[in-house]
Chains A and B, each alone.
Chain A
């Protein structure tokens, strides 16, 4: 009798154990399925495609018309001056986009006060992030436009000779980055505003009693408490800088003569543009962009993992 009940317990625990093993996988299954189909599989496909020379067409029988070229696409990338320009431009984007952090923080601190109608001012400052990137691009393209653009007329009035930023190969990338910063600053600002809500008032008070104010207050008391917000702001800014496609496409189409191209736009041009349809070459650019993003993404994941385990 005792023997029997003992084995029953074991059997039950065994069942519970396997349940414990299976259940998480069951819950993960839908997500894993989506992740595999929409993320992992396309990555594998892109990497495979980057070893082919293919114009995107299947023949009448539905057979793939590509030709295997091994590392040929990558070898060509290394010699391609347009790729080099795009890479440098991506770097400019990454560095200059970081300006969104201090400026966004400044505006957030400025707006973090209670006066009449502050909600209205906050939403006005947030406005550029709400409108589509395409609209931002169009507005700035008109702002910079030769002959009638406000910026052009302004430079004409000051220097006597108008500067058409988007037609100037040396200035064009900075002109587009400035347009991109406008909504990005608003985004960072909103992140910091929510962060500022969570700053502990007792610590501020304690610091004030100890005589801290101005920059020292900001640097030693407020900023450390804003670390989670800063972390998210850095992530979205880096990603925003690397996927800067829409503005380039709307404002210059990569021009003049390719001087404002970034990797994502060059990839589009090569794979899907009117004169492109070099799928393999486009895929090779995509792989390079993916590897660059992986550097940042791994960094973020490593940091998050470290924070979780420390807790």
Chain B
């Protein structure tokens, strides 16, 4: 059962929900979600499966507009908490956990052997040793490239193993000579630039260092961070000019049109590339090249999660549904419909989708670790300051000293030593 409403109507719809619940004998579990049409249909299919297996439980989902949800959740968690709510892993859920609004569901993890099945997502679901989230999907980041652009510039397209960093930069020279942007991005929304920085940092200093940097434990003026910006500086001349004024969809258009060759992006962008006319023949994917040799490869894979709220009226049945969402069957089905990767290692991935298969392979062999993405690993305010710094560096690389100095001051203010 699904209600589609906008944020302003929440209260009225919630009242209607409780009224309709009254009329039924079934035990009701309420779930607030923020799905776009395709994930919504997939979630409805899962609800139907769950209700067929548990005829005495009725899952009532209230679906919000994706952007409105980010504000709505702050109100409904205190004013009118549902049993279940969608959100994101790692630091993004921390404010709600610290305010006591998300409930501890370590028992669901323990009873269903999830630490084993969801092994790669344990760190991002855990705060202070307790689990607060059920991760049910993630997607890989990496470099998406246009084979036609490679051909036009006379550059050998990367093989399945990707290319070396030196080769990548050499290719960039060739693209520049051919009048093609080697790397496109958007910094109007600042997060795409954070993806580039994350990879440079992960490849230069490894997962643990990057994770400490995001947690405010590392000085921005340290030689290791400077090394990251040294690599960034090599890339900077090849990034599309005007990135600060375009949306990521506009940058995607540059890639589709062959005006740009590479794009560091998440797998959700494949849909946009294909809508623009690209096919599996000319759209390619490779993992970000190795920079410091020998560092275990870490990848970015932001995870979406479901949480039990502290104000849940029916926590028992809600936990049953959470266990269902963690299962391999449910995750295989939902992720196949949406085109993302299941977090359950026993789940299956459609082998006919080259990007999902490549992503699954890249993530399951990422021995370095799985990062959540800059704005989920770092605290919100710190993340924002960082992204502004990355953006400024792309526009004004000569301002590096001022940028690092400012970031360091922000760090010392937010994380007093």
List the A residue with the shortest CB-CB distance to B310.
A60
Q: From residue B148, how far is it (CB to closest CB) to chain A in Å?
A: 18
Binds B, one of A115-123, A129-137, A141-149, A211-219: A141-149
Whether a CB of chain A sits under 8 angstroms from the CB of B406 is: yes
- Between B70, B254, B388, B413, the greatest number of chain A beta carbons within 10 A of the residue's beta carbon is seen for B388
User: Does any Cβ of A come within 8 Å of B372's Cβ?
Assistant: no
Q: Quick one: which of B74, B242, B375, B395 contacts A57, CB cutoff 8 A?
A: B74
- Interface readout for A19-57 with B: 1 if CB under 8 Å, 0 if not? 000000000000000000000000000000000000111
Q: Contacts of A81 on B, CB cut-off 8 Å?
A: 406
8 Å CB contact of A256 from B99, B250, B395: B395
Q: How far apart are the CA atoms of A258 and B392 in the complex, in Å? A: 9
Smallest CB separation, A271 vs chain B (Å): 11
A257 at the binding interface (Cβ < 8 Å):
yes
> Do residues B388 and A258 form an inter-chain contact, with CB atoms below 8 A?
yes
A160 at the interface (CB under 8 A from B): no
**Whole-angstrom distance between the alpha carbons of A144 and B190 in the complex?**
19
Q: Which residues of A contact B244 (CB under 8 A)?
A: 164, 166-167, 255-257
Complex CA gap A70/B400 in Å reads 35
B113 to chain A, nearest CB (A): 29
Residue of A nearest to B74 (CB): A56
Contact status B187-A57, CB under 8 Å: no
Over the window 165-199 of chain A, the binary record of Cβ atoms lying under 8 Å from chain B Cβ atoms (1 yes, 0 no) is 11101000000000000000000000000000000
Task: State how many angstroms separate the Cβ of B407 from the closest Cβ of chain A.
Answer: 12
B243 CB within 8 Å of chain A: yes
Report the separation of the CA atoms of residues A214 and B132 in the bound assembly, to the nearest whole angstrom.
76
Q: Which of B190, B243, B310, B384 is A167 in contact with, Cβ under 8 Å?
A: B243
Interface string of A57-86 (1 = CB under 8 A from B): 111101001000000000010000100000
Residue pair B100, A147 in contact (C-beta under 8 Å): no
Residues from chain A with Cβ under 8 Å of B381 in the complex: 275-276, 278
CA of A76 to CA of B414 in the docked complex: distance in angstroms? 12
Bound Cα distance A277, B391 (Å): 22
B383 contacts the other chain (CB 8 A): yes
Residues of A within 8 A of B74 (CB): 56-57, 277
Does A307 belong to the interface (CB within 8 Å)?
A: no
Q: Chain A residues near B96: list those with CB within 8 A.
A: 57
Is A243 an interface residue, CB under 8 A from the partner?
no
Q: Shortest distance in angstroms between B145's beta carbon and chain A's nearest beta carbon? A: 19
Q: Which of B95, B188, B242, B413 contacts A252 (CB 8 A)?
A: B188
CA–CA, A119 and B396, complex, Å? 50
Are A256 and B101 in contact (CB-based, < 8 A)?
Answer: no
Question: 1/0 contact trace for B363-384 toward A, CB 8 Å?
Answer: 0000000000001000011011
Contacts of A272 in B (CB 8 A): 71
Is the C-beta of B246 less than 8 angstroms from some C-beta in chain A? yes
Docked-complex contact A60 and B187, CB < 8 angstroms: no
12 new A-B contacts at CB < 8 Å, known A146-B242, A167-B241, A277-B74: A55-B99, A59-B99, A59-B100, A60-B78, A60-B311, A145-B242, A166-B244, A167-B395, A252-B188, A256-B187, A257-B389, A257-B395
